[in-house]
Structure 1
Amino acid sequence: MYTIEMAYARMRELQEMADRSRAHQPSAASRRAAKKRAAKKR
Protein backbone atom coordinates (compact mmCIF):
# COMPACT_ATOMS: atom_id res chain seq x y z
CA MET A 1 0.00 0.00 0.00
CA TYR A 2 1.24 3.49 -0.87
CA THR A 3 0.56 5.90 1.97
CA ILE A 4 0.55 9.70 2.10
CA GLU A 5 3.52 9.44 4.47
CA MET A 6 5.47 7.58 1.79
CA ALA A 7 4.53 10.25 -0.74
CA TYR A 8 5.70 13.01 1.63
CA ALA A 9 8.99 11.18 2.23
CA ARG A 10 9.54 10.82 -1.54
CA MET A 11 8.72 14.47 -2.14
CA ARG A 12 11.21 15.46 0.56
CA GLU A 13 13.89 13.26 -1.03
CA LEU A 14 13.31 14.82 -4.44
CA GLN A 15 13.32 18.34 -2.95
CA GLU A 16 16.60 17.65 -1.14
CA MET A 17 18.16 16.36 -4.35
CA ALA A 18 16.96 19.45 -6.22
CA ASP A 19 18.32 21.74 -3.49
CA ARG A 20 21.68 19.96 -3.59
CA SER A 21 21.97 20.14 -7.37
CA ARG A 22 20.93 23.82 -7.38
CA ALA A 23 23.53 24.82 -4.78
CA HIS A 24 27.00 24.63 -6.29
CA GLN A 25 28.68 24.78 -2.87
CA PRO A 26 26.19 23.54 -0.27
CA SER A 27 27.25 24.70 3.19
CA ALA A 28 26.07 23.15 6.45
CA ALA A 29 24.02 26.31 7.09
CA SER A 30 22.16 26.10 3.77
CA ARG A 31 21.43 22.41 4.35
CA ARG A 32 19.95 23.23 7.78
CA ALA A 33 17.83 26.00 6.21
CA ALA A 34 16.58 23.57 3.56
CA LYS A 35 15.59 21.07 6.24
CA LYS A 36 13.67 23.79 8.11
CA ARG A 37 11.82 24.74 4.92
CA ALA A 38 10.96 21.08 4.26
CA ALA A 39 9.70 20.65 7.83
CA LYS A 40 7.49 23.76 7.53
CA LYS A 41 5.88 22.47 4.32
CA ARG A 42 4.25 19.54 6.14
Structure 2
Amino acid sequence: MFTIEMAHAHMRQLQELANRSRAHQPAAAYRVDKARKPLSGKKA
Protein backbone atom coordinates (compact mmCIF):
# COMPACT_ATOMS: atom_id res chain seq x y z
CA MET A 1 0.00 0.00 0.00
CA PHE A 2 1.27 3.44 -0.93
CA THR A 3 0.41 6.18 1.55
CA ILE A 4 0.74 9.95 1.42
CA GLU A 5 3.32 9.73 4.19
CA MET A 6 5.45 7.32 2.16
CA ALA A 7 5.24 9.68 -0.81
CA HIS A 8 6.05 12.63 1.44
CA ALA A 9 9.12 10.92 2.89
CA HIS A 10 10.32 10.10 -0.62
CA MET A 11 9.80 13.68 -1.80
CA ARG A 12 11.79 14.95 1.17
CA GLN A 13 14.67 12.62 0.31
CA LEU A 14 14.62 13.80 -3.31
CA GLN A 15 14.49 17.44 -2.20
CA GLU A 16 17.45 16.96 0.13
CA LEU A 17 19.48 15.33 -2.65
CA ALA A 18 18.52 18.12 -5.04
CA ASN A 19 19.56 20.76 -2.52
CA ARG A 20 22.94 19.07 -2.04
CA SER A 21 23.68 18.55 -5.72
CA ARG A 22 22.38 21.90 -7.03
CA ALA A 23 22.27 25.51 -5.91
CA HIS A 24 19.68 26.17 -3.21
CA GLN A 25 16.17 26.88 -4.45
CA PRO A 26 14.40 28.92 -1.73
CA ALA A 27 11.00 28.61 -3.42
CA ALA A 28 11.21 24.81 -3.53
CA ALA A 29 12.41 24.59 0.08
CA TYR A 30 9.57 26.87 1.15
CA ARG A 31 7.03 24.66 -0.63
CA VAL A 32 8.40 21.55 1.09
CA ASP A 33 8.29 23.30 4.46
CA LYS A 34 4.70 24.45 3.93
CA ALA A 35 3.67 20.92 2.92
CA ARG A 36 5.42 19.36 5.91
CA LYS A 37 3.42 21.19 8.60
CA PRO A 38 -0.10 19.87 7.83
CA LEU A 39 1.22 16.33 7.35
CA SER A 40 3.01 16.43 10.71
CA GLY A 41 -0.17 17.71 12.35
CA LYS A 42 -2.18 14.91 10.77
CA LYS A 43 0.33 12.27 11.88
CA ALA A 44 0.61 13.44 15.51
TM over 0.5: yes
Q: Which runs of 5+ in 2 are unaligned?
A: 24-29, 37-44
Q: Distance in 1 between matches of 2:12 and 2:4?
A: 12
2:35 alignment counterpart:
41
SS at 1:17 equivalent: helix
Q: Distance in 2 between matches of 1:15 and 1:2?
A: 19
Tell me the TM-score normalised to structure 1 length: 0.55
% of aligned pairs identical? Answer: 66
Aligned-residue RMSD, C-alpha: 2.2
**Count of aligned positions:** 32
Tell me the TM-score normalised to structure 2 length: 0.53
Q: Which runs of 5+ in 1 are unaligned?
A: 24-36
